[in-house]
Amino acid sequence: MLLLTGGAAQASTRPVLLVMGDSLSAAYGIEQQAGWVSLLQARLDGKAQVVNASISGETSSGAAARLPDLLGQHEPDIVVLELGGNDGLRGLPPGQFEANMATMVEASQASGAEVLLLGIDIPPNYGRAYRDAFTAVYTRLAEEYELPLVPFLLEGVALEEELMQSDGIHPTAAAQPRILENVWPRLAPLLEANGAVVAESAQD
């Protein structure tokens, strides 16, 4: 787990943002500072405290088990859930994935945090029916819990060969600014609502 913060003395005056993700948010295969979460921290320039609790290989069940302690430790104002890729690649039933995510949403909201969902897709070889059922989980959760949703985190990235690592799954460092731009329009209003003065159209 990586804690990105500019000083504990300021923490009480800034909103706390907790990112619960997998390798897509843990900067797998690239320098940590090049990842989109680190780019977000740089963009915020001290206006919020960013806690990146993302772990490569993380699943929704693993994150759900870790989340209560993290909520108690960091008392976040915003929780970003970027999970599902490893569940999908393992063929987890969509219903179980949805139950795990719902548990995290409810725990986050019960702690007083707002939640942002970041959706993903899985490779075509898993079949259209499974992919549709899996990606529909994000939309259903967003509607049920009235959450902001980024439908596809890797929009404009996943189909661009030069923006993907050789495994075809993980984005390159060059893709990270685009990923942040995909997240920013949904995240900025939450930051503003929690006291961080940011421009929704801010650019790096």
Active site residue 167: yes
Active-site residue among 22, 38, 111, 170? Answer: 170
The pLDDT of residue 8 is 43
Cβ-contact 27, 64 below 8 angstroms: no
Read out DSSP for 159-183?
Answer: T-GGGB-TTSSSB-GGGHHHHHHHH
- Per-residue pLDDT reduced to its tens digit, 120-156: 998 888 999 999 999 999 999 999 999 999 999 999 9
pTM of structure: 0.91
Token pair recorded at residue 192? 């503003």
Active site residue 25: no
Question: 6 pLDDT exceeds 80?
Answer: no
Q: Look at residue 80 and give its three-state secondary structure.
A: strand
How many other C-beta atoms can be found within 10 angstroms of the C-beta atom of residue 9? 7
The pLDDT of residue 202 is 45
Active-site residue among 22, 23, 25, 38? Answer: 23
Closest CA to 6 of 38, 32, 34: 38
Cα 166 from chain centroid (whole Å): 23
